Amino acid sequence: MSILVGLDVGTTGVKALTVSPEGDVLAQIEEAYPFSTPQPGWAEQDPEDWWRAAKSALGKLAVGNLAGIGLAGQMHGLVVLDERERVLRPAILWNDQRTGAECAEIEERLGLRRLVQLTGNRALPGFTAPKLHWLRRHEPEVYERIAHVMLPKDYVRLRLTGERAIDATDASGTLLFDVAGRRWSDEVLAALEIPPEWLPRVVESPVMAGHTSDGVPVAAGAGDQAAGALGVGVDRPGPFSVVLGTSGVVFAALEDFAADPEGRLHSFCHAVPGAWHAMGVMLSAAGSLRWFRDAALSLRHDRGALVRAVLEGVAYGLRDSLELLQELGVEPQVGRVSGGGARSDLWVRIVASVLELPLERAVVEEGAAYGAALLGGVAAGVFADVHEAVGTCVRVRDRIEPEPGWAETYASGYKRFRALYPALRPLEET
């Protein structure tokens, strides 16, 4: 039996799993690593930690009949290498917040509307381009030595195969990519004065982008959200993805490129060649619940009511994203829900009722690593294409319908949420 491996280079560790050609998870392992915060709002990691963890995970899986490997990973992180492919400084991660001034300057240089037309997104601190702009301004001695720019999973590919490459989904999150044209944007690179030769070649997600020293093909892979969407069966318009993880995501596949003119959604290339996706993201979903769990409240508080308020607030935020996707022409019928929060039947029922749509849970809940393994299977020829991989491997475990008695109450609550949320925003600035 040919075995597939998915590697997800996450923020807290590498997750690796083996998958059969029928989609069954055979084994999995996680290798953790730290990240540092040298200053408040900063987040950095040593790329060598990713490689050590990936190499250790692959060694512990000890697969003898390995057919293919797929990669997924945290998006947007900046890895800079010199001409000998040596790391010049710790990677600046997706959740680093130091680049607010650089984001404003990028939008001023290109204009918000033109930037969104070209890249599908507005300038946000998490993206890669503002990090490069920050390096030029604050660490010119490092900037002058840059020869190659990479993202986290692609540094692992470099160490695994010796190849410099990136897939179209991860390239979409750099703010340097013509998302509609699926190529690096000459206009953005010129405006930001970034040499195009720094950037790796772009390969579609299921295409082989190198092979190991043992000759095992390694797929180009995908950013974590696109890979995770494949893992729950969102490979084409139809079911959309709802992620109840630390962050909350509503993700829909698109047949054609479309972007929100105000940049309220992310529009990226999908892991399916010739397809795109749009997603709305709230940075704290299960993270909000974790904050509440750890808050020092006394016994006089009704914890049950407060917990439910957190669950409902996240659901309302997800509905915001869904309504923006509908403005782009998405016609939602059913969602595929995943992430740690999806293990709560109550929370899933609340979200289904707020969205007024049924939600399904997949049999395999392994997220981006599972989608990466499916891409590895396509690169290895186990599957003819991504659609065959998803159709063969992804199966629905159960379906949660909206609660009929809750829909009217939540529709009224959502109106209050829409009025209250912007009214509170000025208080955040005081």
Q: Is 8 a catalytic residue?
A: no
The structure tokens listed for 93 are: 């991660």
The structure tokens listed for 112 are: 């918000």
CB 117 within 8 A of CB 107: no
Which of 224, 260, 302, 345 is the catalytic position?
Answer: 224
The structure tokens listed for 224 are: 């974590």
Determine the Cα–Cα distance for residues 298 and 65; give it in Å rounded to an integer. 56
Determine the Cα–Cα distance for residues 302 and 307; give it in Å rounded to an integer. 9
CB 357 within 8 A of CB 402: yes
Q: Which amino acid is at 411?
A: A
pLDDT in tens, the chain (430 residues): 789 999 999 999 999 999 999 999 999 999 999 989 999 999 999 999 999 999 999 999 988 889 999 999 999 999 999 999 999 999 999 999 999 999 999 999 999 999 999 999 999 999 999 999 999 999 999 999 999 999 999 999 999 999 999 999 999 999 999 999 999 999 999 999 999 999 999 999 999 999 999 999 999 999 999 999 999 999 999 999 999 887 789 999 999 999 999 999 999 999 999 999 999 988 666 667 676 677 686 555 567 778 888 888 899 999 999 999 999 999 999 999 998 889 999 999 999 999 999 999 999 988 899 999 999 999 999 999 999 999 999 999 999 999 999 988 999 999 998 998 788 778 766 5
Determine the Cα–Cα distance for residues 218 and 159; give it in Å rounded to an integer. 12
249 torsion bin: left (phi>0), alpha (psi -120 to 50), beta (else): beta
Three-point CA angle 141, 34, 132, nearest 5°? 30
List the beta bridge partners of residue 130: none
Helices (H), 62-215: 100-110, 112-119, 128-138, 140-143, 152-161, 168-172, 186-192
Residue 176: HSE in the Cβ half-sphere, 13 Å Cα cutoff: 29
Cα first-last separation, the chain? 61
Determine the Cα–Cα distance for residues 294 and 275; give it in Å rounded to an integer. 41
CB 18 within 8 A of CB 60: no
Coil vs helix vs strand at 155: helix
> Residues 51, 57, 63, 68: is their CA dihedral positive or negative?
negative
Determine the Cα–Cα distance for residues 259 and 339; give it in Å rounded to an integer. 26
Which residues are CB-neighbours of 9 under 8 A, at least 6 positions away? Answer: 50, 54, 71, 72, 73, 74, 152, 153, 156
Q: Phi then psi for 223, rounded to 5 degrees?
A: -60, 160
Determine the Cα–Cα distance for residues 289 and 345; give it in Å rounded to an integer. 15
Q: What is the CA radius of gyration of the chain?
A: 21
Pairing of β 335-338 and β 217-219:
unpaired
Which residues are CB-neighbours of 340 under 8 A, at least 6 positions away? Answer: 244, 245, 246, 286
